Chains A and B, each alone.
Chain A
Amino acid sequence: MNVEGEYIFNGPQQAVYDMFNDPNALATAVPGMQKMVQVDETHYEGAIFLRIGPISAAFEGVLSLSDINPPESCTLNIEGKGKAGFAKGVGRVKFTDLGNNQTKLNYSGEVNIGGTLASVGQRMIDSVAKSMIKSGCEKLQKTLEERCQQK
C-alpha cells in the first residue's frame, strides 16, 4: 500500500523538523500510541493500539530514522508486530519552507502488512492510515503552536 500527501504547518521549518525527531511529540500525536522510548540516536521503541475495521489489537515495534538531513528531510522506517499481524513501512518526509512562517510537509511511503491485518483489515487500512496521518498532523500543529508560544 502506498501513502502520499502533504500538510502545511504554521511554524518555522526547523521547529517542524525538530518535532518530527522528538519521540514525545510523535508519541502524543499518533492516535493509539501507548509508549515511545528512544533507544539510541536514531531508534525508538514503541507500542500502539490500533483499531482497523473489525480488528483492534496491540502492536509493538521499532521506529528508526535514516537519511537525516536537517531541517529538510529524513526517512522514517517502521516495523511492528502484534497478535493481529505485522506491518513494515518506509516513509520519506520532506519539509519545505514556504516563508510566512509556514512549512510544507510532503510525505510518501510504502507500507506492507500481513496476517489478520491484511486478510481482514486491508479494505479499511487505507482510510485508517489517511485519517491517522491527518489527525496526527493536526495534533502536531497544536504542539507546534504551544512550543512556539512558550518560546
Chain B
Amino acid sequence: MTGKYFGQPVLRLEDKHLLTGRAKFCDDIVIPGMLHAAFLRSDYAHAIIKNIDVTEARKHPGVVAVYTAEDMGDYWKIGPLQVPPPFAIKDAQFNARPLPPIAKDKVRFSGEPIAIVIAESRYIAEDACEDIIFDAEPLPAVIDLEKAWEDTSVLVHDDLPSNMAALVKQEAGDYEAAKKQADVVVSKRFVADHVAGAAMENRGFVVNWDERTQEMTVWAGTQAPLPLRSAIAGRMGLVENQVRVITPYIGGGFGPKVMTSQADDVLLPWISMKLNRPIKWIEDRRENFLATTSERDQVHHCEMALKKDGTILGFKDVFYHNTGAYDPYGMTVPLNTQTHTVSNYRVPNFYTEIRMVFTNEMVVTPVRGAGRSEGVFVMERMMDLAAKELKMDPVEIRLKNLLKKEEFPLNTGVIGQDFVVGVLDSGDYKNNLEKCIQMVDYEKFRKEIQPKARKEGKHLGIGVVAFTEGTAVGPYEGARVTVGNNGKVSVSTGYSTQGQGHFTVFAQIVAEQLNVKVEDVRVITGDTGHFHWGAGTFASRGATIAGSAIHAAAVLVREKIFATAAKFLEVPEDQVDLCEGSACVKGHPEKFISLGDLAGKANPMRGAVEADVKPGLEATAYYAPPHGATGSGACAMIVDVDPETFKVKIERFVLVHDCGTVINPLLLEGQIQGGVSMGIGNAFYEKMVYDENGQLMTASFMDYLMPQATDMPRKMEIGHNVHPSPLNTLGLKGVGEAGALPPSPAFCQAVEDALYEYELDLTESNLNPSMLYEFRNKAIKR
C-alpha cells in the first residue's frame, strides 16, 4: 500500500541537525549552577562491605556532597521490578530480587555502585572517588551457570536456598510421547555468549529540581521515558505532572537503555532536590561495560526427535539463563528464547524449560535480538545436526519443516514475554527460504562454485538459515496529532527514539492521511510533558505500535477536517477533498480553506459551542495489539575461511525479510543492515568475558571488538516478502532486531561447510579465530 508519502523512501527529517553537529544529546545540556556526579564502583564481584570511609572525599576541594547507602536513610529502597514475573505461566517459579540503587552490606557484581560524589566538575568528582576507602571482605564468585544451579555453597542472595532465580516449564503437545515415535533423536549442548549493546553514546542523566515551581525536569538517554517518569515521581512523592522526562537525541539504544530504577535515576533526583542544584551524570565507556545491562549468556541442552524423512516430531530444550546479580527486568529475555526456538517450523511437540540463575555479574536485560538470537541459534544448529545425522541437505530439511502461508494464523501454545499465548499471525516462512536460496544461487554454489574452489585449495562454505522475529508486542502506545494555526502538524507520542528514524516514518504516516508535506509534520517523541502515556521502546514495536496509534489519531483528525470543512465550505462532507495543505470542494480546487485557517475555526474564541465540543483539529488515539506481530526471514552466507589463520571473509550475505507493509524502504534497509552488523559482530567479534572471579575482562573497545567497516561483507543483498499483518490497519510488523538474529547460526553452518576436511562441530554462538582453531583441533578429520 504505497501512497504519496507512505511507502516512499522519504529522506530523514532529523538528519540535518545531526549532520551539522547541532543536535542536542544528553551531555550537551548545560544548566547554570550544574554539578557533576561520579560513582565509585566495586572492584569486587562478590564481597561483604565492611566499611566505606568517605571523610577524605568530602574534604576534597570542589566536592559538594558524597553519599553512600547509609547516607540515604529511608530513601534507600530495593527495586521495584520493572517487568512483573510471568505468573501467567502455570507453575512458574520466580524469585524477585530487584536492583538496589547502590550497594548496602554486600556487593554482588564488579562495577556495582557503592558511593556517589557530587562536585563542581566531573574531573573533581572522579578525583574524590579515589579518596574513598572501601573496605570489603571478598567472597568467591558465582559465575558458571550450570554449576551455580546445583551448587549452593556460594549464594548470590543468602536469603535464598539456592542460586535459582526462576524455573519456568512450558509444553505444547507431548514431547516424550513424540520421542517414542521417532526414527532418530539428536541432542547437543550449546553456549550462547554474552554481548553488550554498546551504543556509541553511553548513558546519561541530567536533573533539575526547580524549588519555586516545584517541578523536576529530567533529560535522559532512555528508551522508557514514561516508566522512568512514573518511577521517579513515585519515589520522590510527587504527582506525575511534577516530573517531566525529556529524551534529547540519543546515540543508539539497542536495549539496555530501557532500564529504570538504577543508581542514576534513583539517586540523582533525590540529591538534586536535597542540594537544590541541577546535576549531570554521564557514564564513561568502562562504566557502560561494567554496570549497564547486557545480554545473552545461556547454556542449552537440546534434543530433537525426527522421522527418517526429516519431519520434526518434537523438540526439547532445557536451558540455563544468566540473569546476573539481580532480576529487575523479569524474564523477558529467556521467555523470548522460549518462543523463538521453534517458531519457524512445524514442531507439534515442544518442551522448554528455563533455569534462570543468579550470578555475580551485571544484570542481564534485552540487547537487540533479546533472547530470540539464542533461540534461533540453537534451533538452526539442531537443524544442521539433524541434517547431518539424516544425511540430508541443510536446505532440504528446512524446506520440509518450515511453515507455509496457509498455516497462519498459528497458535504456538507457548506464552511469551508479553504474557499471552503466541500466535504467528501471517507470512510465508518457506517462501522466504526459497527466495533466499534463489538469490544466493544455492544450486550453482553447490554444483559449480564450491567444487571448483575446493579444487583450487580454497575453503568456501555456505550457510542457510531461517528465523522469525516476534515483534510489536503490547501493551499499547498512544499519540496525539494536532493541526497548528500555521497549517503545520504536530505529533507527540510517549515512544522514544534512538536513531531509528521515527521523526520521519511517523511524519510519513500523518502526511499521508492529512495530505500535508512530510516536512510540515513535526514529531515529538519521548517528552512526557507532551504526551504522558506509553510503555517504551523495546521489542521492535515503534513503527507498529506507536505507528498504528499515530495512524489512528491522524485518521480521526482527517475525519474532523472533513466535518469542519464541510461546515465552512457549505457542502456535504462527501463533497470535501484534501488538497495539499488545505480542504477544498471536490472538483472545485479554487473553493478551499487552508488547514491552518480551519484549525483556527475549529477553536472558537467566543460564542456558544456544542456541549460535546472537542476543540481544534486534534485527536488522540491508542493502539493495543491482541498479541505481537511476527516478522520472518531467511539468510544465506558464503564464507571464505583461511584454514591456517582462521580468518573468515564473508563473501556474500543474502537476507530475505518479511516485515509486512513497508513505511519507508530506505530506512527499512538501514534497520536491517544495522541489525546484521550487530549479528556479524556477535558471530565473530564480540564477546564479554568474565573470569572465574567475576572480573569483566573486556571493559573497553580494545578488548570488546565490534565489527569495523572492513569486517563487513561488501554488500548486504536484501530481498523482501510482504505479508501484511492482519493485526493492525496498516499491516505492519517490526524489523529492528531481525538482522541480528540469523548471522551466528548461518556463520557456523558456513564455516563447518568450508572446513570440510574436518567434522567440525561449532556449538558456541560467538566465535573468533582462536576459538575456531580450538574447535578444529578437537574435530575428527574426515
A interface, CB within 8 angstroms of B: 54, 83, 85-86, 112-116, 118-120, 122-123
Contact = CB atoms under 8 A, between A and B. Distances in A.
B556 to A, nearest CB: 53
Given A114-B110, A115-B110, A116-B286, A122 B43 contact: no
A85 B693 contact: no
B279 interface: no
B693 A119 contact: no
Given A114-B44, A118-B695, 13 more contacts: A83-B130, A85-B43, A86-B43, A86-B44, A114-B45, A114-B695, A115-B43, A116-B43, A118-B691, A118-B697, A119-B696, A119-B699, A122-B695
Contacts of A120: 286, 699-700, 702-703
Contacts of B110: 114-115, 118-119
Contacts of B697: 118-119, 122-123
A143 to B, nearest CB: 34
B17 to A, nearest CB: 34
Nearest to B290: A119
Contact of B695 (A83, A113, A123): A113
A83 B128 CA distance: 11
B491 to A, nearest CB: 43
A75 B412 CA distance: 62
B289 interface: yes
B121 interface: no
Interface in B276-290: 286, 289-290
B698 interface: yes
Interface residues of B, number: 18
A118 to B, nearest CB: 4
B290 A114 contact: no
27 contacts: A83-B130, A85-B43, A114-B43, A114-B44, A114-B45, A114-B695, A115-B43, A115-B110, A115-B695, A116-B286, A118-B110, A118-B695, A118-B697, A119-B110, A119-B286, A119-B290, A119-B695, A119-B696, A119-B697, A119-B699, A120-B699, A120-B702, A122-B691, A122-B695, A122-B697, A123-B697, A123-B703
Interface string B39-55: 00001110000000000
A22 B110 CA distance: 36
A85 B290 CA distance: 14
Contacts of A83: 130
Q: Which of B45, B130, B700 has the most CB of A within 10 A?
A: B700
Contacts of B43: 85-86, 114-116
Given A113-B695, A114-B43, A114-B44, A119 B130 contact: no
A5 to B, nearest CB: 21
Q: Which of B43, B695, B703 has the most CB of A within 10 A?
A: B43
A123 B43 CA distance: 17
Main secondary structure of the interface of B (DSSP, over half): loop
Nearest to A120: B700
A71 B477 CA distance: 77
Q: Closest 8 A-B residue pairs measured CB to CB?
A: A115-B43, A119-B699, A118-B695, A122-B697, A114-B43, A83-B130, A119-B696, A114-B695
A123 B697 CA distance: 8
B700 A119 contact: yes
Contacts of B691: 118, 122
A134 B290 CA distance: 33
A49 to B, nearest CB: 15
A119 B45 contact: no
Q: Which of B44, B286, B691 has the most CB of A within 10 A?
A: B691
Contacts of B289: 119
Interface in B658-710: 691, 693, 695-700, 702-703
B123 to A, nearest CB: 15
Contacts of B702: 54, 120, 123
A123 B110 CA distance: 18
Contacts of B286: 116, 119-120
A118 B703 contact: no
B443 to A, nearest CB: 45
Q: Which of B289, B290, B693, B695 has the most CB of A within 10 A?
A: B695
A54 B286 CA distance: 13
A83 B131 CA distance: 9
Interface in B116-133: 130
Contacts of A116: 43, 286
Contacts of A85: 43
A112 to B, nearest CB: 5
B39 to A, nearest CB: 14
Contacts of B695: 113-115, 118-119, 122
A20 to B, nearest CB: 28
Contacts of A119: 110, 286, 289-290, 695-700
Nearest to B692: A112
B194 to A, nearest CB: 14
Contacts of A123: 697, 702-703
Given A83-B130, A86-B43, A112 B693 contact: yes
Contact of A114 (B130, B693, B700, B703): B693
A122 B695 CA distance: 10
B440 to A, nearest CB: 38
Contacts of B693: 112, 114
A54 B702 CA distance: 11
A119 B291 CA distance: 12
Contacts of B698: 119
Contacts of B290: 119
A121 B691 CA distance: 13
A120 B44 CA distance: 15
A113 B690 CA distance: 12
Nearest to A86: B43
A120 to B, nearest CB: 5
Nearest to A83: B130
A89 to B, nearest CB: 12
A86 B493 CA distance: 48
A95 to B, nearest CB: 31
Contacts of A115: 43, 110, 695
Contacts of A112: 693
Contacts of A113: 695
A114 to B, nearest CB: 5
Given A86-B43, A123-B703, A118 B130 contact: no
